[in-house]
Structure 1
Amino acid sequence: MALELRNVTKRVGAQLHIKETSLVLEPGHFNVLLGATGSGKTSLIKMMAGLDPIASGQVLMDGQDVTALSTQKRNISLVHQFFINYPHMTVYENIASPLKVAGMAKSEIEGRVEEAADILQLRPMLHRRPHELSGGQQQRTALARAIAKESRAVFLDEPLANLDYKLREELRDQLPELFAGRGAVVVYATSEPEEALLLGGKTALMQDGRVTQFGTTADIYRNPDNVAAARVFSDPPINTAPIVKQGTTARLGNDVSWSLTGAAADLADGPYTIAIRPYHVLPVATPLTTVQLSGQVQVTELSGSESSAHFDMGLDSDHGSWVSLSAGVHPYEVGEHHDFYMDPSAAYVFAPDGSRVA
């Protein structure tokens, strides 16, 4: 079973909210929609689920055009970031509710509910009501309902966003196993690049109502097609700056230059943009980090195992602030000038139109 979007668009008033989008989403792995808040992830999910009308295009499930079908007739499940359970029902009744609506036999309902409850470790809570559960248990109930229904497609719209850190890690690790081998197309929306990488599968990067790149998650992370994709798939934010290529030399600002190699050295002379992830910009020189940068430290963060520093190199307002992320503890002082060292071999090069050229 595949879920296909064929040239779908969405309008809000006169504004085109979702630009023309075509995707084929398949079972067997997670299909992640990754983008910042407002990028269009939830809108796209609602269109696939039949909750929002589409302005043009088609939605197909297993080759069947379901564009005009109601949500109920599409046999889908939707789990939101908010704990949506029926407050007057027990956990058992919440999990069983879509099965009862479908007119399923009582014995089959019992079997499915108990199986889903065992998978989500909810068996001791089956007779409780939602207000008697923790946030994690409530979200497990919503996930159990999706599993018990055995839907053709399952949409998870930032389902872990309102859980505490430990619970998020627990459920995130379990999610791929929960839906493995069930034959459903699983679509997972998130604003966190790390979450997309942990879930694996395939990822559609979204920005301003448009899919900027779609493919295997790890491949997109390593090989962004354009500067927009590189920006979406980086946390902390990827560092970007304008450079000028002259011969085999790249110049960044007035004081920084380095020799280009490989495909970058063969580019025509002229202006480009480089992008480099923060963990390739370190506070100490290494055999790879050979390009010295200098800037005023603006913000520092210490996670225990990593140190990050935001520093201003005095470039234009769109590119002046860069981030360094390194292992260990580094004694940064806000306001001080500090040297950092960049690995030029890890930098992506983009043409003025944003497309990647090296």
Structure 2
Amino acid sequence: MALELKNVVKRVGAIEHIKDTSLILESGHFNVLLGATGSGKTSLIKLMAGLDPISSGSVWMEGRDVTRLNTQKRNISLVHQFFINYPHMTVFENIASPLKVAGMAKSEIEGRVEDAADILQLRPMLHRRPHELSGGQQQRCALARAIAKESQAVFLDEPLANLDYKLREELRDQLPELFAGRGAVVVYATSEPEEALLLGGKTALMRDGRVTQFGPTAEIYRDPQNVAAARVFSDPPINTAEITKQGNMARLTPDVTWVLEGAAADLADGTYTVAIRPYHVLPVATTQATVRIAGRVQVTELSGSESSAHFDLGLGSTQGSWVSLSAGVHPYQVGEMHDFYMDPSACYFFAPDGSRVA
């Protein structure tokens, strides 16, 4: 089963809310739409679900053009971040509602509802009404409805956003198992990079109504194709700064230079953006971390067995603050200069337009 977008565009007046987008989303894994609020995730889901008309392009499900079909004829399920259940119905009736609309036999409805309720631990609550449930139970009810319907495509639009932390973790761990082996295309929208990494599968990074990179989630983390993608999967934020490349040398500051190797050494001389994740910038020299950088410590944090330090490179406010993240406890003093050591083999290089060049 696959859901395919072919050159889909959504315009409102002269503004393109979704820019030319082509994607193939397949069953067998989660397909994550990852982006900040306003990046176009919900707009794209509405187009795929048939809730909003597209301006140009087409939507295909299982090799069939469904662009002009309404939502009811697309055999899809949609779970929002808000607990959307019918308040006058019991949990059983809520889960069964799309099956009754489809004219399914009573015995089959009962079997599907009970199976879904067992999966989501709702069997003791089948005769309650939504207002008698906790927030987590209400969202489980919405998920059970999607499972019982056995749709070709299931759209989960930030379904855990309004749950407390413990419930989010619990349901997030269960979601891949809930939909495993059901043959549905599962599309999950989130603004949390950690959720994308935990769910696995494939991720479409979204920004300003455009998909900037699509592929296996772990691969995007390891091999970002643009500086925006590199910034998404990094907490603390990835360190970036402008460098000058001349010959086989890179210059970060007047005192910080290093020899480039591989693809970076072959770049034309000029100005580039270097990016490196905080755990490759350490407070002590190692075999890999050899490029010494001195910076004034601004903020320090201790989290479990890790220490982080935000430090000023002296390059100005736009790119002068970097972060080091390392194992152990380190004696940083706010306001004092400290030496840090960067692993040059872990650097990414980007052209002025943000595209990855090495």
For 1:239 and 1:122, the matched residues in 2 are separated by: 46
Identical residues among aligned pairs (%): 86
The answer to whether residue 318 in structure 2 is matched with residue 318 in structure 1 is yes
Partner of 2:39: 39
Partner of 2:196: 196
For 2:54 and 2:6, the matched residues in 1 are separated by: 11
SS at match of 1:251: strand
1:82-126 per-residue CA deviation (whole Å, 9 max, x = no partner) reads 211122222111111111111111111110010001111111111
Partner of 1:158: 158
C-alpha deviation, 1:339, in angstroms: 2.7
SS at match of 2:162: coil
1:289-316 per-residue CA deviation (whole Å, 9 max, x = no partner) reads 1122233333443332333333222224
CA RMSD of aligned residues (A): 1.6
C-alpha deviation, 1:334, in angstroms: 4.1
SS at match of 1:94: helix
Partner of 1:214: 214
Instruction: Give runs of aligned pairs for residues 245-324 of structure 1, distance below 5 A.
Output: 245-324=245-324
Uncovered stretches (5+) of structure 2, i.e. residues with no partner:
none
CA pair 78-251 structure 1, distance change in 2 beyond 3 A: same
C-alpha deviation, 1:241, in angstroms: 0.8
CA pair 167-328 structure 1, distance change in 2 beyond 3 A: farther
In the alignment, residue 101 of structure 1 is paired with which amino acid?
V
SS at match of 1:284: coil
Partner of 2:136: 136
In the alignment, residue 9 of structure 1 is paired with which amino acid?
V
Partner of 1:327: 327
For 1:80 and 1:285, the matched residues in 2 are separated by: 48
In the alignment, residue 21 of structure 1 is paired with which amino acid?
T
Partner of 2:107: 107
Partner of 2:167: 167
Structure 1-normalised TM-score?
0.95
C-alpha deviation, 1:21, in angstroms: 0.4
- 200-209 or 334-343, which moves further after superposition? 334-343
The answer to whether residue 64 in structure 2 is matched with residue 30 in structure 1 is no
For 1:169 and 1:335, the matched residues in 2 are separated by: 38
**Contact 1:200–1:218, Cα closer than 8 Å, also in 2:** yes
CA pair 238-126 structure 1, distance change in 2 beyond 3 A: same
**Contact 1:207–1:232, Cα closer than 8 Å, also in 2:** no
CA pair 298-259 structure 1, distance change in 2 beyond 3 A: same
SS at match of 2:86: coil
SS at match of 1:195: helix
C-alpha deviation, 1:19, in angstroms: 0.8
In the alignment, residue 10 of structure 1 is paired with which amino acid?
K
1:107-149 per-residue CA deviation (whole Å, 9 max, x = no partner) reads 1111001000111111111112222222211111111111001
SS at match of 1:275: strand
Uncovered stretches (5+) of structure 1, i.e. residues with no partner:
none
For 1:308 and 1:10, the matched residues in 2 are separated by: 43
For 1:71 and 1:198, the matched residues in 2 are separated by: 30
CA pair 101-330 structure 1, distance change in 2 beyond 3 A: farther
In the alignment, residue 287 of structure 2 is paired with which amino acid?
P
For 1:13 and 1:331, the matched residues in 2 are separated by: 57
Structure 2-normalised TM-score?
0.95
1:163-202 per-residue CA deviation (whole Å, 9 max, x = no partner) reads 2222222111111111111110000111122211111111
CA pair 284-133 structure 1, distance change in 2 beyond 3 A: farther
Partner of 2:49: 49
